[in-house]
Structure 1
């Protein structure tokens, strides 16, 4: 099979031929139809993830068909079209059996713990616990992002923060996961405030459903919080019920928590390189909740897939570029460049 190989961190990946993988007893091999180019792939390639060992194949959000299955796989069949959460559980621990496979201590992650989906074939372990059947009639572009950015945003807003119709959500950072959060919040019936330093990102946020856009350029966290609160009041007198940090900076976390109304819920999705200082006095006084979202278990995918199948959520609208596998090394290098345009690139294995 053809695959993208990373031999050295931060060096140009290579397109090579590798032996096709075999299915473990509890797992499957999936022929990849399409796969995403995600900022998390860049983190791994840069050497920021301790679970990654060289050489390896990147890629963790994908859709495809089962081509072979181990003897212990009973819930899925050959040829079935599936996607997979980027965090896969062992299927047997107390976290997995309670429906929380995304926090399994023995989790596997394609593209991190083993070879990923920037290849013609990828292995998924413990398939019965981790595969998600997807509709035949949806385009691959509508399904690729469900493995990572859309699942993480949906889990954070719907499951962790329990965002309700009519509430106001403020999303800080309008890159891939931030735009996903905006689209999901709008699909759930919420009012949305988008926050970013880039005018282009804010325009994209407006196109994808943000009711109000706030520029964070040149402001302190306190000033930004005040501006978000003021602009949120234009669309709802109840204030900001939910904030999402999709960027992972101490200043955006502080501004997000500072924007919340009493009993508000903050969802942290952006990965932080340095632990932030939190205003815990405000958290206590207003009884705020600070919640993490790290993927979503396969067991919770039904409502998200239904939103897409019903046309209430269109992840394909976030796709701005479709490339072939041979262009994937250049796409990885391009993520190093400043001023990346918001949107999503997918790799079509049929090209």
Structure 2
């Protein structure tokens, strides 16, 4: 099969013929119809996250936002069959640990991040193998497009889990979103659907305009103001109720916390870069004095996808609205390079493999 293979960090991926994946007794093979190109792929391409123990190595096939149809299942798989239309969450669980057994497979004790480690090669390829398929596959509703659903592998479902399950977003609350890449724009759309008023923050006007179309009430260009938290505080009167770092650099994390009002909640979705290596200084005393919560959120449990699908069915959510363009497998390297300077808008999706 054709695949885009990492040869050297920061260098173009090579399109190669590689061996087809072989199905395991508990696994499934999914033929790719769509796969988003995510900033997390950029991190893997750059060689980040060695401090997390998941640095991608030479020979890795990246890609972790896939959707397609099942073409083979192992003998122990009972919930899925050939022909099923599925999405694949990036946070693959083993299906056996206490986290998986209690519905928290996204924080599996033996988490396998799709497309970042050699044990689970990714979806920048014609086919992908999914271990513990009964645990990890998500059946898609009838009639939906794989391209439209690609963000459900990572960015859209990550933002949904963070806002709908981890933070306490109520009707009329102010939600600030710092960073309007794919996950940030997803967060804007989802917060709006949950009834919140949204302030979108970014450096690029095109992304802020896209945020407005997805439900942002107000926008702040961080390059045009001296005090981003001050601007958010002024817009929201008493500070945001929930503030999201959707990028993962020190500046957006700190700005997010400082944008909050008393008893506000900071939601950390973005993972850090080589500059921070997982460590960011925070205004700890202010957080204590104002009883501010710092909440981490990783992916989404596969057991809760029906909540998204019900909101899609009634028109409250539209994952396709965050998809910005479709490309071919040979275009992946150019899209990753564009992410270095934050030049992509929304979610670019591969649909030609």
Give the TM bin, normalised by the shorter chain: over 0.9
Cα distance in 2 for partners of 1:94, 1:298 equals 15
1:123 is paired with a residue whose SS is strand
Paired residues for 1:138-177 under 5 Å:
138-177=144-183
Cα-Cα RMSD: 1.6
Equivalents in 2 of 1:253, 1:261: separation in Å? 15
- In structure 1, the partner of 2:17 is 17
Segments of structure 1 that go 5 or more residues without pairing to the other structure are none
Other structure's SS at 1:33 match: strand
Matched, 1:335 2:346: no
- Tell me whether 1:297 sits opposite 2:297 in the alignment: no
CA distance in 1 between partners of 2:283 and 2:335 (Å) = 38
The structure 1 residue matched to 2:97, chosen from 84, 93, 96, is 93
Structure 1 residue 333 displacement after superposition: 3.0
Q: CA contact under 8 A between 1:170 and 1:242: conserved in structure 2?
A: yes
> What is the DSSP-based 3-state SS (H/G/I as helix, E as strand, rest coil) of the residue aligned with 1:244?
strand
SS in 1 for 2:99: helix
Aligned positions of 1:14-53 closer than 5 A: 14-50=14-50, 51=54, 52-53=56-57
SS state of the match for residue 35, structure 1?
A: strand
Q: Does 1:349 align with 2:333?
A: no
What is the CA-CA distance between 1:81 and the residue it aligns to? 0.5
Rounded to whole Å, the distance in 1 between the matches of 2:111 and 2:139 is 20
In structure 2, the partner of 1:130 is 136
Residue 229 in structure 1 maps to residue 233 in structure 2 = yes
| Aligned counterpart, 2:65 | 61
Secondary structure of 2:251's aligned partner: helix
2:209 to 203, 207, 211: 203
Alignment check: 8 A CA contact 1:32 1:65 kept = yes
Give the TM-score, by structure 2 length. Answer: 0.93
Counterpart among 210, 220, 223 of residue 217 in structure 1? 223
- Measured in 1, the distance between the counterparts of 2:116 and 2:272 equals 18
Cα separation, 2, equivalents of 1:137 and 1:224: 42
The residue aligned with 2:112 is: 108
Report the CA distance shift for 1:84/1:249 in structure 2 as closer, same or farther (over 3 A): same
How far residue 130 of structure 1 moved from its aligned partner, in angstroms, is 1.1
Q: Tell me which residue corresponds to 1:183.
A: 189
Q: What is the deviation of 1:95?
A: 1.1
> Would you say 1:278 and 2:282 are equivalent positions?
yes
- Looking at structure 1, the residues matched to 310 and 163 of structure 2 have their Cα atoms a distance apart, in angstroms, of 16
Aligned pair count?
Answer: 343
**1:339 CA displacement:** 4.7
Give the Å deviation of 1:127: 0.8
Does the aligned pair in 2 maintain the 1:171–1:178 contact within 8 Å?
yes
Q: CA deviation at 1:249?
A: 2.2
Contact 2:99 2:105 (8 Å CA) reproduced: yes
In terms of mean alpha carbon deviation, does 266-275 or 60-69 score higher?
A: 266-275
Local SS of the residue matching 2:201: strand
